[in-house]
Amino acid sequence: MTAPFAADLCGYRPNGNPSTSDSHDPGSIEWGHALFAALGVVPGTTEIPQVGSAMEQRAAAHLTSLRPDLMLAQSRPALEFDQYRHLNVFRQFGKTYRGPAAELDEALDELPSTPEFSSVRDHIHAAIAAAQQDHQLVVQLQDTMPEESLLKIDITVAAPEPIDRLLIGLSSKWTLRTDRAQDCVSQGSKLVNHRRGHMPHYAVLTMEPRPSMLKLIAYGSGAVDCIYHLALPELQQAAMQIESTKKSRAGAPGWPQRLMLERMIAQGRIRSYQQLVDEVLRLPGWS
């Protein structure tokens, strides 16, 4: 199934290029035109401003309509979820901690200046010295502790409170560039390495049409489970349409770009939006 909102998000820039295209990549423009044609997008349709945010909102709203019993949200920090909450403990401690020496000094000032309290003062001075030593250890720990930065997850599907366990995390990218692809992989690696307990299903949701760009995420990384494409059937149609315009070598099995796409689909590296819907629907129910 194609995402029911996929075609609504498509449009053309003032220069006539599809909104999925990289203006410096003729192949990207070609793929964008072919994909939009397969989706039935009328040429000249105005590009949607901030289409990446619109895509994220539409996807989250659609998935929420399918499973209102789950907690679907946008841009939630991973640290809020059960598997990653431990990473926030020391960070919160560092924000609120202050050494106890100030309180002890105040207590010492409140004692009467009489010989009877000399022993008490000695004890307080010793406590201040010990507390200052502990404080220096805490400061040293704060300075040397690594700060694990986990970006906010674009779309999250979680079990409801009090569990608040992250079940599915989606990185939503209208299109891909090398840096965006690396961001997806890096975030997935952190979710894998820093979790305690249940590993969430982590995937990328995109409208990127170029197989070569999809391959940057789909191949060679266990950090991302798969890529869900908003319009996979139409992308396959686009690949066949472009292939028909290419000159093939005698005896060649087919156009390499189309073959790459079909191979990634056959291996489950790229999946349809329907398969994402199925993944959400098969999650256990909560009342």
Q: Which has the closest alpha carbon to 135: 103, 165, 169? A: 103
Residue 32: pLDDT band with limits 50, 70, 90: very high
Residues paired with 271 in a beta bridge? 228
Question: Quick one: 51 exposed, middle or buried, by C-beta within 10 A (0-12, 13-18, 19+)?
Answer: middle
DSSP string, 239-274: HHHHHTTSPPPTT--S-HHHHHHHHHHHTTSEEEHH
Q: Which domains does the chain have, with CATH numbers?
A: 7-84+150-281 (3.40.50.10010), 87-144 (no CATH)
* pLDDT tens per residue across span 137-182: 666 655 655 565 667 999 999 988 777 899 999 999 999 998 889 8
Question: Quick one: 82 exposed, middle or buried, by C-beta within 10 A (0-12, 13-18, 19+)?
Answer: middle
Q: Which of 24-28, 71-75, 218-222 has the lowest mean pLDDT?
A: 218-222
**pLDDT > 70? residue 285:** yes
**pLDDT > 70? residue 231:** yes
Percent of the chain with pLDDT over 90: 59
Please enumerate in sequence order all residues whose Cβ is within 8 A of that of 277, keeping only pairs 6 or more positions apart, or say none: 1, 63, 66
Q: What is the rounded end-to-end Cα distance, in angstroms, of the chain?
A: 28
- pLDDT of amino acid 51: 97
Q: Which of 3-7, 124-128, 221-225 has the lowest mean pLDDT?
A: 124-128
CA distance 108 to 111: 6
- pLDDT of amino acid 253: 75
